[in-house]
């Protein structure tokens, strides 16, 4: 890998003193986007796919209301099945299944669902089954629910009897005694009659923090273990959408799940919207991350309709006559998060089970939008109103998809004009870029907008990628007075449905893997400080960009944390200026991540790279050997 040489990070500031400066307390966070099945089939714990028969060919060619479903006519049962929309549970959820059971045979007539690549269950756990049914014939119909494997072995079952009188929700608990994957959920009617079926759901009781309509516990915990200071959601390109009709509208995502408005996912699948804004806010609260919801800036994605293909429709602006209503939606979002329970939207939050406010502080407007007059006009309309009505909210603007170029320049010009408090920069670049841009923010004009590095990744999951990201992150800490926040992207990818690489976390139905990049993010995030101490680490005479270091202090604990990165081929000695640090304590820990540059952690192999923690003798700070291809995090106890 070619590297550019420049003064390494610890020495790159003109000020050579060891003075400290205050840095952002919100520096390292996460960015969640429903991409690569990150939500449905991922973080959202629902096990039934296409639970309300709303999939269609507009989501994906070959998809329809019966995708992931199978018509079951075993044991000489017969009847008919159709998809209807005349009398749905709720007009927002228009399709449902109609089962006409002429003969229920020995085993019952019904449907089975294959989940997301099979349903995975764990021994000893309980699963909440629920379904909306409308008994359309005079007599009650016994219904059996079963989790079965390919051979027909039953892993959990329940039975109930339908009642007349319109749509009714039925709830059962399935207890599972054996761990299994590739299961299907069967719903079988055991007597002749007519049944309308909708919103078939199976949730593990063991969701993250036991929340209803909750999140997959292991994946949510993996995110929580990053100790993110904030979480940006729900995207990305998902926010501004593939054309105006596909723009993410937060109001469609709250309330009872069967009343939410589902839609196509810009990443070529479907959004059930079971994971909606209420669940996002609740998750942020559960993991102690500040919520950073992003709303579209009144324009769709510039790549709408596949702009790179002939016939793409490109960026479109909402009609100006719709903008007042759209701006009201943004104001209502702030009220939903922070308003009192007697306000219109605060009451909706309380009705969902959360009377206390969510303490929203940041709102993002736009996502790497093309800087056009259409964009600028609409952004300003939204921004001016939010600023005037909610001075307590910090708006995050956007400066295009890349770290330089026309959109970036235009975006910054616009940000300066409007005094936007923070702008969102995105870098998907080669590892070399992260090394040669270590000084990027050292000379940033501190009087201009602060920066949120909302998406960055060095195009790979090898150790060398993670180390170049780590080197760059030392510069984020050093410039934590102007860089307010930073988040790696994307966060989650289902290994069978990955539409973007690399990602921070890969998962399948039963496990997830921490990439080396994950460990780097974690080491920085759990070792964040609130002040930066300049010029603490020196590398003996060497100024190669593969070496980088930072030093922060955490005022809550008094701990001093030194991070040293060596993304190069040779071990190097470093000196940590003990006097400047005025270190009394002898208690310290070293957390080190090192290995071969092209090693990576993958889902189906034992972990190759894991940080190793050990006691550290502070006497050796005077001459610490930094191994080749390593990140060292030295945490010295303050008290
Ligand atoms: O992180 C994946 C995508 O990258 C995001 O949706 C978009 O903002 C960027 O182009």
Residue-wise pLDDT for 471-529, tens only, equals 999 999 999 999 999 999 999 999 999 999 999 999 999 999 999 999 999 999 999 99
Predicted confidence at residue 1, as pLDDT, reads: 41
Residue 7 clears pLDDT 80, i.e. is over it: no
Categorize the per-residue pLDDT at 619 as very low, low, confident or very high, splitting at 50, 70 and 90. confident
As annotated, the residues of the chain forming the CATH 3.20.20.80 domain(s) are 30-44+208-525
Residue 5 is predicted with a pLDDT of 31
Question: Model confidence at 577, in pLDDT bands (50, 70, 90)?
Answer: confident
Determine the pLDDT at residue 3: 34
Atom 4 of ligand 1: nearest residue by CA position? 236
Percent of the chain, pLDDT > 90?
91
Q: Which atom of ligand 1 is nearest to the CA of 454?
A: 8
Task: Give the residues across from 635 on adjacent strands.
Answer: 561, 589
Do 505 and 515 form a contact (C-beta atoms < 8 A)? yes
Percent of the chain predicted with pLDDT > 70: 96
Range with lowest mean pLDDT among 15-19, 195-199, 409-413, 606-610: 15-19
Place of tokens 């939207």: 345
d(CA 468, CA 458): 7
Kindly report the backbone phi and psi dihedral angles of residue 9, in degrees, each rounded to the nearest multiple of 5, phi listed first. Answer: -55, -45
DSSP codes joined into one string, 483-548: EEEEEES--EEETTS--SS--SEEE-SS-EEE-HHHHHHHHHHTT--SEEETT-EEESS--BTTEE
Cα→Cα distances 616→524, 620, 629, Å: 18, 8, 20
Any atom of ligand 1 within 6 Å of the Cβ of 366: no
Ligand 1 center–CA 237 separation, angstroms: 6
Backbone angles phi, psi at 561, to 5 degrees: -125, 125
pLDDT, position 2: 34
305 pLDDT tier (thresholds 50, 70, 90)? confident
Q: Is the pLDDT of residue 540 over 90?
A: no
- What is residue 583's predicted lDDT score, i.e. its pLDDT? 76
Q: Name the residue with the closest Cα to ligand 1, atom 9.
A: 236
What length does the chain have? 639
Which pLDDT score is estimated for 65? 98
What pLDDT does residue 307 have? Answer: 53
Burial of 158 (0-12, 13-18, 19+ CB in 10 A): middle
Indicate if ligand 1 lies below 6 Å from the C-beta of 455. Answer: yes
For domain 30-44+208-525, the CATH class is alpha beta
Average pLDDT (167-195) is 98
- What is the predicted pLDDT for the residue at 504? 98
Mean pLDDT of the chain: 95
Q: What is the mean pLDDT of residues 451-462?
A: 98
Residue 448 scores a pLDDT above 70: yes
Nearest of 619, 524, 614, 603 to residue 565 by alpha carbon: 524
What is the pLDDT, as a whole number, of residue 205? 98
- Return the best residue to mutate from 248, 365, 368 for the ligand 1 pocket (most ligand atoms within 8 A of CB): 368
Residues of the chain with CATH 2.60.120.260: 69-204
168 pLDDT more than 90: yes
In the CATH scheme, what is the code of domain 69-204? 2.60.120.260
pLDDT digits (tens, 9 = 90+) for 370-383: 999 999 999 999 99
Q: Say if residue 14's pLDDT is above 80.
A: no
- For domain 532-636, give the fold: Immunoglobulin-like (2.60.40)
User: How confident is residue 6, by pLDDT bands cut at 50, 70 and 90?
Assistant: very low
Q: Where in the chain is the domain with CATH 2.60.40.1180?
A: 532-636
Neighbours of 139 (CB within 10 A): 11
- Mean pLDDT value across residues 268-294: 98
* pLDDT score, position 4: 32
pLDDT > 80? residue 423: yes
Q: Is 368 a catalytic residue?
A: yes
pLDDT of residue 18: 65
Please tell me if the CB atom of residue 431 comes closer than 6 angstroms to any atom of ligand 1: no
């Amino acid at each position: 890998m070619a590297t550019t040489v420049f003064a390494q990070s610890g020495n790159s500031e003109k000020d050579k003193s060891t003075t400290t400066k205050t840095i952002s307390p919100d520096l390292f966070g996460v960015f969640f986007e429903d991409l690569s099945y990150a939500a449905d089939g991922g973080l959202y714990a629902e096990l039934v796919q296409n639970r309300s028969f709303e999939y269609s060919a507009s989501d994906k060619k070959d998809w329809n209301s019966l995708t992931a479903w199978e018509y079951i006519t075993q044991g000489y049962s017969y009847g008919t099945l159709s998809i209807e929309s005349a009398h749905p549970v709720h007009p927002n959820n228009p399709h449902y299944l109609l089962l006409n059971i002429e003969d229920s045979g020995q085993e019952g007539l019904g449907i089975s669902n294959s989940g997301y690549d099979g349903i995975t269950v764990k021994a000893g756990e309980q699963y909440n089954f629920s379904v909306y049914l409308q008994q359309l014939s005079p007599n009650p119909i016994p219904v059996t629910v079963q989790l079965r494997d390919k051979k027909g072995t039953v892993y959990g079952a329940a039975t109930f009897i339908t009642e007349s009188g319109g749509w009714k929700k039925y709830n059962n608990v399935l207890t599972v005694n054996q761990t299994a994957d590739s299961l299907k959920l069967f719903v079988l009617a055991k007597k002749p009659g007519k049944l309308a079926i909708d919103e078939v759901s199976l949730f593990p009781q063991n969701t993250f923090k036991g929340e209803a309509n909750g999140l997959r516990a292991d994946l949510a915990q993996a995110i929580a273990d990053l100790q993110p200071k904030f979480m940006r959601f729900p995207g990305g390109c998902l926010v501004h959408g593939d054309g105006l009709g596909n723009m993410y509208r937060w109001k469609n995502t709250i309330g009872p799940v069967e009343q939410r408005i589902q839609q196509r996912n810009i990443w070529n699948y479907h959004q059930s919207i079971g994971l909606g804004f209420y669940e996002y806010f609740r998750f942020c609260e559960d993991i102690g991350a500040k919520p950073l919801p992003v709303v579209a800036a009144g324009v769709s994605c510039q790549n709408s309709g596949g702009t790179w293909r002939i016939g793409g429709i490109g960026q479109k602006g909402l009609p100006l006559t719709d903008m007042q209503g759209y701006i009201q939606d943004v104001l209502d979002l702030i009220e939903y998060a922070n308003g009192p329970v007697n306000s219109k939207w605060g009451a909706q939050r309380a009705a969902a089970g959360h009377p206390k406010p969510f303490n929203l502080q940041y709102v993002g407007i736009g996502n790497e939008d093309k800087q056009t007059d259409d964009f600028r006009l609409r952004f300003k309309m939204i921004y001016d109103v939010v600023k005037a009505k909610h001075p307590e909210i910090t708006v995050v603007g956007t400066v295009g998809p890349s770290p330089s170029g026309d959109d970036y320049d235009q975006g910054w010009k616009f940000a300066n004009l409007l005094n936007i408090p923070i702008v969102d920069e995105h870098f998907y670049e080669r590892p070399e870029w992260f090394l040669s841009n270590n000084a990027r923010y050292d000379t940033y004009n501190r009087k201009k907008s602060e920066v949120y590095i909302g998406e960055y990744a060095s195009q790979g999951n090898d150790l060398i990628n993670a180390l170049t990201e780590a080197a760059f992150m030392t510069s984020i800490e050093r410039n934590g007075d102007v860089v307010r926040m930073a988040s790696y992207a994307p966060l989650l990818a289902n290994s069978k449905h990955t539409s973007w690489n690399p990602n921070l976390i890969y998962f399948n139905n039963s496990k997830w893997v921490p990439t080396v990049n994950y460990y780097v993010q974690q080491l920085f995030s759990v070792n964040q400080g609130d002040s930066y101490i300049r010029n603490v680490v020196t590398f003996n005479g060497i100024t190669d960009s593969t070496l980088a270091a930072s030093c922060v202090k955490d005022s809550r604990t008094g701990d001093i944390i030194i991070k040293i990165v060596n993304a190069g081929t040779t071990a190097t000695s470093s000196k940590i200026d003990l006097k400047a640090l005025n270190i009394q304590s002898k208690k310290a820990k070293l957390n080190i991540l090192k290995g071969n540059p092209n090693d990576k952690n993958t889902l189906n192999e034992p972990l190759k790279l894991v940080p190793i923690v050990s006691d550290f003798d502070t006497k050796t700070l005077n001459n610490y050997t930094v191994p080749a291809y390593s990140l060292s995090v030295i945490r010295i106890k303050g008290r």
